[in-house]
A and B are shown apart, each in its own frame.
Chain A
Amino acid sequence: MSEHPRHRLDPVIHSPIRLSIVACLAAADKAEFAFVRDTVEVSDSVLSRQVTLLAEAGYVNARKGYVGKRPRTWLSLTAAGREAYGKHLAALTAIAKMPVTEEADV
Chain B
Amino acid sequence: MTFTAIDAWWWPYVFILVAGWLATDFWRFLGVYLGGRISEESELIVLVRCIATALVAAVIANLVIFPSGALAGTPLLLRVGAGIAGFLAYLAAGKRVIVGILVGEATLGIGLLVFS
Do A and B associate with each other? no
Chain A: residues with CB nearer than 8 A to chain B?
Answer: none
